[in-house]
Structure 1
Amino acid sequence: MIIWQPDQPINRGRFIIQGKPLGCGGYGITYKAQETNTGKLYAIKTLNQQMQLKNDFAEEQVKFINEALTIKGFDHRHIVKVNEVIQEGKLFGMVMEYIDGVTLFEYVQKKGQLLETEALLYIDQIGQALEYIHQKGHLHRDIKPQNILLRQNQQEAVLIDFGLTRSIATQSMTNSGTNGYAPIEQYRRKGNFGSHTDVYALAATLYYLLTADGLKAEGEQQPVPAVNRKYDNEPLPEPRSYNSRISPRVNDAILQGMALEPEERTPTVLQFRKNLGLVVTPVPTPQRKHERITPPQEIQLKSAVGMDYKKLRDLLATGKWKEADAETARVMLAVAKQEFKDDQTEFWLQRKSIWKFPCEDLRIIDQLWVKYSNGRFGFSVQNRIYQSLGGDYVYDSDIWEAFGDKVGWRKGGMKGFYADITFDIKAPKAHLPAVMAGYLPFVGMGRQDGVDFLERVETCKL
């Protein structure tokens, strides 16, 4: 049995093992290693001690190498990058990028259940990674919070551990999986396997992210296992029974994604993302210079106070970002029954107006920005970034300044000005709408009003 030790050189001294293992599962063990020539850090995965003691160890090593070759062919920002396979004695190692961060499970264990907006951000990223994997003809088969890493100080989730990955075409698979996340078909050697198999696990992961506190109170660490639901008739409580802040749309999407039988389940990850409201329909591109594009009609422009949002819609549809920003200020102040001035730097939404601002109207404005920027701009996007930095709607100067840096409203650590705003689709994510950057809470980073506005965005479930 081979166990690599701290400071041990491997692969003819090319790598030096650094400290204790990063993690150990039922299949593999992962070490942190430094490449001696470059000083660069890597994660190197091998078969663990239990696997090394098995009679079919040689066959397991072949599977391990095949896993490495499969992942090496993947090129996606939310999938861990595999560089090569090395050998140290009789043991093979998979050399991967080293990700400085924690698993989503560890993150939730420390922080508690996530707000819906933050949870959806990570699920959307991993969902896109799964769509990529499925297009390549493979299933992951082990989606769970423990197999998702969060990059340090970034709002990026990365999918890891492909030990159970199989070809979609294979209809006879080992009955392996993790209780609470594995669908019922993974408890059978032969079954109806497909993209819906990973949908179940992704939906179960979202279930956990949003209900961890309620589950913990009942002494549970994961949703009710599919096998218990099937053979013990144990019901799956709807997520809202643990967390009343979950929106009906997300609650229903999770339950459909976790339907017990494959035939009744959401069939694809793309459809699951659509059910969650995460897929934005691209805006058609004009074929001729003066051709008019009819804006998509999916967004219902039904204001709670009779405001007309057609002009804002048309400006966004044609990519007139600066004009759309000014129109956003105008309609928001009109809804709040405050005076609008041509000088946009005078924009100011009073605190009493923030808390009375109709959710219906805030949602329309946000959906229009999100839709026509393909998810790049919008108040909900700004709110997710604020949350990802640790924002909890209580003013904190460090978090507020980090937020201003992240969305590009501060330059070189100094507060910015409205004249410095970039009205272009290539602007930093969440840079627009910048009407709020035109009033001091965002530019000066020194008032509770801006925090209150984002909390209103959160309470409106944007």
Structure 2
Amino acid sequence: MEYIIWQTDQPINKGRFIIQGELGRGGFGITYKAKEPNTGKLYAIKTLNQRMQRENDFAEQQVKFINEALTMKGFDHRHILKVNEVIQEGELFGVVMEYINGVTLFEYVQKKGQLLETEALLYIDQIGQALEYIHQKGHLHRDIKPQNILLRQNQQEAVLIDFGLTRSIATQSMTQSRTEGYAPIEQYRRKGNFGSHTDVYALAATLYYLLTADGLKAEEEIYPVPALNRKYDDEPLPEPRSYNSRISQRVNDAILQGMALEPEERTPTVLQFRKNLGLVVTSVPTPQRQHERITPPPNVSEEGGLKSAVGMDYSKLRDLLAAGKWQEANEETERVMLAVAKREGNGLLNVEDIDNFPCVDLRTIDQLWVKYSNGRFGFSVQKRIYQSLGGTREYNEKIWEAFGEKVGWRKGGDWFYSDITYDIKAPSAHFPCVVCDDFWGDLGKYCFRGNEGVCLFSRVETCKV
């Protein structure tokens, strides 16, 4: 047969659909935007592309293509693209799917740059849940990557697409199709140790990209480092934090474990990967039953993925920091921290408040400061400086005073609050500067005193911020 390309305004399936144009092309398929005139609804319709149509085994490939569609049609999950039916136009079959008005995660990051950790984790959590569902159904996706994840417009909702490489978990002899940078080492082998860990590698690599991509690198070279290069060329995989210091240690370590080269050393399941990221809480086992409790959906602002364990709205803090209004942002930081700790009436945070401060809120506040100061300010920056001076949870007056001098909270042997320098040129780690004690009254308020400061950095360490 001569290869077929559907044209704009072309009616297909006896006029049931009208082609509106192309949505995209891949190695195997081409996807069209189509309208159903009777209802006015928009759909995405995928067919095999010209290259596949020219192949001698095209008929066999169409059967596989239809089987893929039938597999997807059996999936019913909010974060998996919905397949409606299979249609035929002449010799060409098409898969009718829901139309999603949005962009891929790859396109989103290319335009926006590195994502805030909270936002990246939101999407990874959603796709992770979709993968758990697929694995429970007995299948592997085998092609998780930013290009195969769509974001619904203005909804902060990720949807997994393209199941062209999906196979049964029970199958241990698979095609060697793969995407460099996201495929684990077993996908370079026809027979190998395949399992849920295979998709874990690609999901971890996707998170790696979301947190470290700079927009240009992804176009100029294969990124992250392909598994084949790591194994046979001894090319190391740089830890994510080497590209982005804002990444928490917990997430950094979870990504590296999820991308362990050999399957036996890798995080075994998506559920465990989500646990390692702090997205799943294990409930206390009872004599009758042990079960997992998935953390409830986080409170997320309209944009930016601003998580809070208590429903705090961090959009004002984000906007102030984005505008470089450091004094107002510092005051807003103090306000939200007091509100989260339920200490508005007292106006001060004590050691107990800090010890019990929600990790998710501490992480959100820190990441906002780090992001908009280009890594200059933030609790995590303060913690690293404090620890570099030999600081621990045990309060040491000399170390604390040295820290105060280093970050500009102390000059000439005196601590201060009113003379804080509200400028991006302030010393590194100068902010946030939250009042935790007013022992000297209005003339002597200053940033975290020794005990509270040491406690804060301990909490930052515990929360792996």
The two structures have a TM-score, normalised by structure 2, of 0.65
Q: Tell me the CA shift for residue 364 of structure 1.
A: 3.4
Q: Output the amino acid matched with 1:196.
A: H
Q: Tell me the CA shift for residue 216 of structure 1.
A: 1.9
Which residue of the partner structure matches residue 169 of structure 1?
A: 170
3-state DSSP class of the match of 2:122?
helix
Which residue of the partner structure matches residue 7 of structure 2?
A: 5
Q: Contact 1:199/1:266 (CA < 8 Å) preserved in 2?
A: yes
Q: Tell me the CA shift for residue 217 of structure 1.
A: 8.9
The 2-side partners of 1:217 and 1:42 are apart by 30
Q: Contact 2:85/2:96 (CA < 8 Å) preserved in 1?
A: yes
State how 1:373-452 maps to structure 2 within 5 Å: 379=361
Could you say if the C-alpha distance between residues 330 and 161 of structure 1 is closer, same or farther in structure 2, counting changes exceeding 3 Å? Answer: closer
Among candidates 356, 359, 370, match of residue 364 of structure 1: 356
Q: What RMSD, in angstroms, separates the aligned Cα atoms of the two structures?
A: 3.6
Q: Output the amino acid matched with 2:29.
A: G
Which residue of the partner structure matches residue 137 of structure 2?
A: 136
The 2-side partners of 1:363 and 1:215 are apart by 41
The 2-side partners of 1:129 and 1:158 are apart by 8
Q: Tell me the CA shift for residue 281 of structure 1.
A: 3.4
Q: Output the amino acid matched with 1:57.
A: F
The 2-side partners of 1:268 and 1:105 are apart by 24
Does residue 227 in structure 1 map to residue 236 in structure 2? no
State how 1:104-253 maps to structure 2 within 5 Å: 104-213=105-214, 216=217, 219-220=220-221, 222-253=223-254
The 1-side partners of 2:255 and 2:92 are apart by 41
The 1-side partners of 2:357 and 2:209 are apart by 31
Which residue of the partner structure matches residue 402 of structure 1?
A: none
| 46-55 or 213-222, larger mean C-alpha shift | 213-222
Which residue of the partner structure matches residue 332 of structure 1?
A: 341
Which residue of the partner structure matches residue 406 of structure 1?
A: none
The 2-side partners of 1:144 and 1:358 are apart by 45
Q: Contact 2:145/2:202 (CA < 8 Å) preserved in 1?
A: yes
The two structures have a TM-score, normalised by structure 1, of 0.65
Which residue of the partner structure matches residue 20 of structure 2?
A: 18
Could you say if the C-alpha distance between residues 35 and 242 of structure 1 is closer, same or farther in structure 2, counting changes exceeding 3 Å? Answer: same
Task: List runs of 5+ in structure 2 lacking aligned partners.
Answer: 294-308, 311-336, 374-431, 435-455
Q: Output the amino acid matched with 2:80.
A: I
The 2-side partners of 1:238 and 1:9 are apart by 51
Q: Contact 1:383/1:458 (CA < 8 Å) preserved in 2?
A: no
CA displacement, residues 232-289 of structure 1 (integer Å, 9 cap, x when unaligned): 111111111111111111111111100111111100000000011110235899x9xx
3-state DSSP class of the match of 1:102?
strand
Q: Contact 2:180/2:222 (CA < 8 Å) preserved in 1?
A: no
Which residue of the partner structure matches residue 40 of structure 1?
A: 41
Q: Output the amino acid matched with 1:177.
A: R
Which residue of the partner structure matches residue 281 of structure 2?
A: 280
Could you say if the C-alpha distance between residues 383 and 83 of structure 1 is closer, same or farther in structure 2, counting changes exceeding 3 Å? Answer: farther
Q: Tell me the CA shift for residue 365 of structure 1.
A: 3.5
Could you say if the C-alpha distance between residues 237 and 330 of structure 1 is closer, same or farther in structure 2, counting changes exceeding 3 Å? Answer: closer
3-state DSSP class of the match of 1:77?
coil
Could you say if the C-alpha distance between residues 365 and 229 of structure 1 is closer, same or farther in structure 2, counting changes exceeding 3 Å? Answer: same
Q: Contact 1:214/1:242 (CA < 8 Å) preserved in 2?
A: no
Task: List runs of 5+ in structure 1 lacking aligned partners.
Answer: 288-295, 297-311, 314-327, 341-348, 368-377, 395-450
3-state DSSP class of the match of 2:246?
coil
